[in-house]
């Protein structure tokens, strides 16, 4: 299941590093659609936009 704190990977502060995490798209979609945090629905479209360049 999706982590309760929403953190998929963690690193040491102030150390240059790369973090990797395995994500399941279906779990992310479920969390976006029925989770308690609805940040995607609270976006301010007057400040920025997202353009999809499907490659």
Give the separation between CA 44 and CA 46, rounded to whole angstroms: 5
Give the separation between CA 17 and CA 34, rounded to whole angstroms: 33
**pLDDT per position in the chain (55 positions), as tens?**
556 777 888 899 999 999 998 888 888 888 778 877 777 777 788 888 878 888 6
Per-domain residue ranges for the chain?
A: 23-49
Residue where the block lists tokens 């999706």 = 2
Q: b/e for 29-40, b at 16 or more Cβ within 10 A?
A: eeeeeeeeeeee
pTM score above 0.85? no
């Amino acid at each position: 299941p999706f982590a309760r704190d929403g953190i998929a990977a963690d690193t040491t502060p102030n150390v240059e590093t790369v973090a990797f995490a395995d994500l399941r798209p279906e779990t992310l979609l479920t969390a976006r659609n029925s989770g308690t945090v609805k940040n995607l629905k609270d976006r301010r479209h007057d400040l920025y936009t997202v353009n999809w360049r499907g490659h």
